[in-house]
Structure 1
Amino acid sequence: MREQLQNLLEQRVRQYVSQARNNLHDCPFIEKAKESCSNRGAEIVKTKAEGKITNEGKNEEGEEVFYQVHYNFLIKQQNSFFIEERVENRKAEFYKGVLVTDEELSFDSLGVSKEKEMLVENTNEIDRIENSDGEEERKVFRYDRLRAVQYAERWWNDYNPAYKSFEVDCTNYISQCVHAGGAPMHGYANRSKGWWMRSNNWSYSWSVANSMRLYLPSSKTGLRAKEVKEPSQLSLGDVICYDFQGDGRFDHTTIVTAKDAQGMPLVNAHTTNSRMRYWAYEDSTAYTSNIKYKFFTILDDQ
């Protein structure tokens, strides 16, 4: 049964990519990616995709298959080429070997809703991020941007078993990247204090997007950051925070891992796992016209 489903799935993925190449509009995921490229003077010149079953089962109508499509977009911008990678999560239903439905599972939007739920549950704690840094020994470090980016590249589509992972994993992943760059943890074991993860416990600032956005510019020791006005001012290893609804609660976090031909950031992220994705997220299912951004450059201690 699994081999049959895998064969059906591989046929579906080939059909899906072929439709995208022919500019058919029943591939909204890829259509949005094309539009995002066009907005910045770039184009997708080649698309490659591979499908992988993540779960399967039966329902009253037949078989249902949850799967991931791993995309490679070869993008040309001016005289430069780069590859963007992204993982789309989908669900397909088959009846007697015939495809009945196939739809995207919008984990970008799911991540936002889950993040909002967490914020509602912990509003008081998250809004009261404490930085009693003067009470602790000053932790001096020089941020190793190369190591942060190397970590981001290694784990963009995987989960380091040394850390707990979350259904909404974006900020946890960014914290790991920045920590790999040398940023020291501190504040254990008060979850509303400092920035840390240990065993099965962690600070809000480590794992919650809105909490990290509050923590970065207010910290006075260890991990510190300065807000800048424009994304072009960011360097590799810097952080972008996203408020998709524009309501003051930030839902997503990414790390800069490259620059495009115009000097604008390309980012890696978790939740909808992405690599070398254009920073603005205009092709995200969570994107709205009210979106707001915060751009943070990580500071060295001198």
Structure 2
Amino acid sequence: MQVLDESETRAALPFDGLIDAIAKMFAGDCVTPLRHHHTVSVPGEADATLLLMPAWVPGQYSGVKLLNLFPDNHVRSLPTIVGRYLLSSGRTGEMLALIEGGELTARRTAATSALASRYLSREDSRDLVMVGTGRLSLNLIEAHCRVRPIERVRIWGRELRKSSLLAEEAMKLGILAEAAPSLEEAVRHADIISCATLSNEPLIRGEWLKPGSHIDLVGAFKPTMRESDDTVIQRSGVFVDTYEGAMHEGGDIAIPLKTGVLKLEDIRGDLRELVTGNRKGRTSQAEITLFKSVGAALEDLAGAILAYETKLRATENR
């Protein structure tokens, strides 16, 4: 059985290949049962989340991700997301690979946002604002830069120091980046706004958005959490990764649905419909688009298969 640590997982999941693998999986016949999503109390700290996410392609591969999300791990200088992915043969049940789950999750999440951006952001998008400074943020920056000609990245976080440090990391990848002292000013000039935070209250205001912008909402993964306000929803063409997940797990969709600000028929499509061409994405240069991602088990399976096959080829070629 192949065992991939964090660095090996990262090396086995180049964004170009991963974006294409996820697109193929959304368009295919992957089976994704409802995930197991449990709240785990941590005395004296924020509640943790335990996720079990199974998926399989009949006769080919099957897999399950076990993921622990502990929001207060940052005070211990530990990663917020800890987990592993177990990939098996879909024909024999043989266990094929154990893959580091945090890196897999970060890269497949960023790749999924970039895949949505292919259909929803303007092709000439050059100005990216990254909201949040956690593990996902650098991955999101890199992935968005793979699908659009990004020339400028501005990073906003609650601590300017962390924004500056993340900008330095992006610069090491050859991406022109800087810390943004003002979120409003950055958003008002942005072509793409990508958010990956644990915010419980809206950060992005609809009146800040310029015509033609695209909003990528990745954080706020619980139905009580939000990164955007009602005006953002009202001004945007809304798309989701999966209807089931976004409607029940992401507050940016679940709350407006509950209050009547958004109706189910207002959601213009999910990623499967975009990838297969059953729904259109952006319809004009001036349209504001929004993509809400809560994650889907098929994304993990696509990444796990790519990582396993990449590592297998490298081993065979030695």
Tell me the TM-score normalized by structure 2: 0.27
Structure having greater relative contact order (Cα 8 Å, sep ≥ 6): 2
Tell me the TM-score normalized by structure 1: 0.28
- Max Rg structure: 1
